[in-house]
Amino acid sequence: MANEPLFLNLDDEDPESIYQLFESRGWGDGLPLIAPTMERVDEALSHVQASPEEVLTVLPPRGGSATYRDVAVNSVLAGCKPEYFPVVVTAVKALGEQKINLRGVNTTTHPVAPLLVIHGRAVEEIGFNAGLGTFGPGNRANATVGRAIRLILLHIAGAIPGPGDASTQGQPSKYTYCIAENQEESPWESYPESLGVDSGSALTVHCGENPHNFHDMESKNIERILDKAASSMTTFGVNNACISGGEWFVILCPEHAATAFNQGWGRKDVSEYLFEKARMPAGEFRKQFELLAWADWMKSLSDREMVPMTQDVENIKVIVSGGAGKHSCVVPSWGMTRSVTLPIEI
């Protein structure tokens, strides 16, 4: 499907006809689709300056060539507005980065899915939801951009359940997984700025599990709040338990972030606290796993010594997102993947 112009196969735009066509060919994500007519695809392409046949990247496991046109077709199918297209393009470029390890992400039995986080001017200008319910339904930009990436992984990368995606149970975020940084209510500089990415708009891709919620409605000190985050992190059930190089994205709600800031804490302080607090005895890890992909310094620890849930404090990333209400979450990675943050050209 990657190199086949889908709009040529459509006799009409009737939703049921499109639904049946895609189902008969094993395409789509199981949900209704928008007809990728030539006009709609061309309108999406008009928002970038590139040849439609230019290849952005090659996506495993199939090794499909993701041309701008192919990406635009899937963007239209997902219901994206034309102005969303540069965001989708940036996400595809990020997925092509070697350190994402997309082959592993797409073919593992783990339920990993790429989480997109949108930063900067694009949040307001395009209309992403960075506030209440940012992980949930009700916003077209969040829903369709995330869905476009899943359709691209299905149709171009070949990450089809069974032959290309071996995930034992999958997870709901394999339909769509896109949020936005709430910079307006964040007490800190934007996440891209903290990485040295100087751009008005940017995008982060982090391949991980569904969010693991933690809440604290009462605490007036950040330590007590982060103790709950640490309790969500200290579990043997995540890949990050046996693969110490994994990343943890800590998505703080604005109120929890404000508590940290009011105590004089920055992002680095949050990461350092969780690095020290989210630990379990080395002996308990050894009871649970015969194979531990640990850093060398961790392998030498005695059974009584406490092992952090990642080998490096820099692997704990902090972003502010969501609205009112004192709920935050952690998103553990699959382990053998690294996040990527790129500027968006809009």
18-37 pLDDT, tens digit per residue, is: 999 999 999 999 999 999 99
147 contacts 175 by C-beta, under 8 angstroms: yes
43 contacts 51 by C-beta, under 8 angstroms: no
For residue 50 the two structure tokens come to 């590139």
Strand ranges for 26-112 from DSSP E: 55-59, 64-67
Percentage of the chain exceeding pLDDT 70: 97
As a whole number, the mean pLDDT across the chain is: 96
Is the predicted pLDDT of residue 326 greater than 60, yes or no? yes
The structure's pTM equals 0.96
Contacts by 185-189, CB closer than 8 A, 24 or more apart: 185/131, 185/254, 185/257, 185/258, 185/320, 186/254, 186/257, 186/320, 187/257, 187/258, 187/260, 187/261, 187/320, 188/257, 188/261, 188/266, 188/267, 188/320
pLDDT at 217 (0 to 100): 97
Nearest in space to 129 (alpha carbons), one of 335, 323, 277: 323
Binned at pLDDT 50, 70 and 90, residue 10 comes out as: low
